[in-house]
Amino acid sequence: MHVPKLGLRKAAALAAAALCGLAVSAGPASASDGWKHQPYDYYLALGDSLGAGWQPNAVTGQGYISGHGYADDIAASLKLQGGKYVNLACPGETTGSMIHGGCPYPEPYKNQLDAAASFLKAHKGDRVLVTLDIGANDVDGCASATGLDIQCGLTGIQQTSQDLPVILRTLRAAAGHKTEFVGSTYYNPFLASWLTGSAGQSNAKLSAAFLNLFNAVFAIEYPLNGVRVADVSAAFSSNDFVHQVTLQPGVTVPLNVARICQWTWMCAPAPVGPNIHANDAGYTVMAKAFEAVI
């Protein structure tokens, strides 16, 4: 893929600036000793396929809602079931479809944002935990086996930065004073291209720069709107190209690449992979990142 030099320099500069505002961790979030079973009346999970717990079938690769997503893990930790745990997350959701409708997965609501706001208004007097991951599908189509479409990525990041405040303001306006919000950053599934050779390693490094730029949107907008940040990116060691890990005999890769292979389906052989979604272990890591700030 041809990349204009001016565009690449601009993207690199923006990503470098974003890096200054993001915390970097060498490993996953631990099961925090500070994690306590808070007396929430309800847990409302919002977002895209990660919030829904989407995974490929381990034999056929067909995607399905697994029941083992990070939201399911959080609900289990909180011991909330049935009507106390409400998951409105929709596989394929973008920030735009969350606001205006059109999520490709069949859902009973017109749009996820209105459904969430209605739920929060109905429970203003209750203590409600709300988790959110949204935005990945704004940029997901910008990466392929041949590389990263920089202009597509920048456009997707801009879209997320415009839509996310609308989503957060709407949710906050609908919520009661006992409602708590936690939103997440994202891990980088495209680090798996490291395994394809020198060109893939260059693409992996470029994708890491873009991930930092993308995650900077969440690092800024969530706190501005009273939302805590679960740093899933740091939990997956997304920036750690330094520490080396033996992935299999004779194959040594950076820690961030190893995490993607271990905790997602990106390195699985066809027809299961490559698939951007977390596996059970990866969803557990995500849940712990949320639990660390709840």
Question: What pLDDT, on the 0 to 100 scale, is given for residue 82?
Answer: 75
Query: Which element (helix H / strand E) includes 128?
Result: strand 128-133
Question: What pLDDT, on the 0 to 100 scale, is given for residue 77?
Answer: 94
User: pLDDT under 70 in the chain at which residues?
Assistant: 1-38, 145
Question: What pLDDT, on the 0 to 100 scale, is given for residue 37?
Answer: 53
Question: What pLDDT, on the 0 to 100 scale, is given for residue 276?
Answer: 96
Domain ranges of the chain: 35-191+205-237+280-291
Question: What pLDDT, on the 0 to 100 scale, is given for residue 81?
Answer: 76
Question: What pLDDT, on the 0 to 100 scale, is given for residue 86?
Answer: 97
Question: What pLDDT, on the 0 to 100 scale, is given for residue 3?
Answer: 30
Residue in 223, 242, 235, 243 with CA at minimum distance from that of residue 260: 235
CATH no. for 35-191+205-237+280-291? 3.40.50.1110
Question: What pLDDT, on the 0 to 100 scale, is given for residue 285?
Answer: 98
Is the preceding peptide bond at 39 cis, omega within 30 degrees of 0? no
Bridge partners for 54 per DSSP: 65
Question: What pLDDT, on the 0 to 100 scale, is given for residue 50?
Answer: 98
Give just the sign of the alpha carbon dihedral 46, 50, 53, 57.
positive
The tokens of 17 are what?
A: 């600036």
| Residue in this structure with the two tokens 């873009």, named with its chain if needed | 210
Pairing of strands 85-87, 128-133: unpaired
> What dihedral angle (degrees, nearest 10) is formed by the CA atoms of 96, 102, 104, 109?
110
Are the beta carbons of 282 and 263 closer than 8 angstroms?
Answer: yes
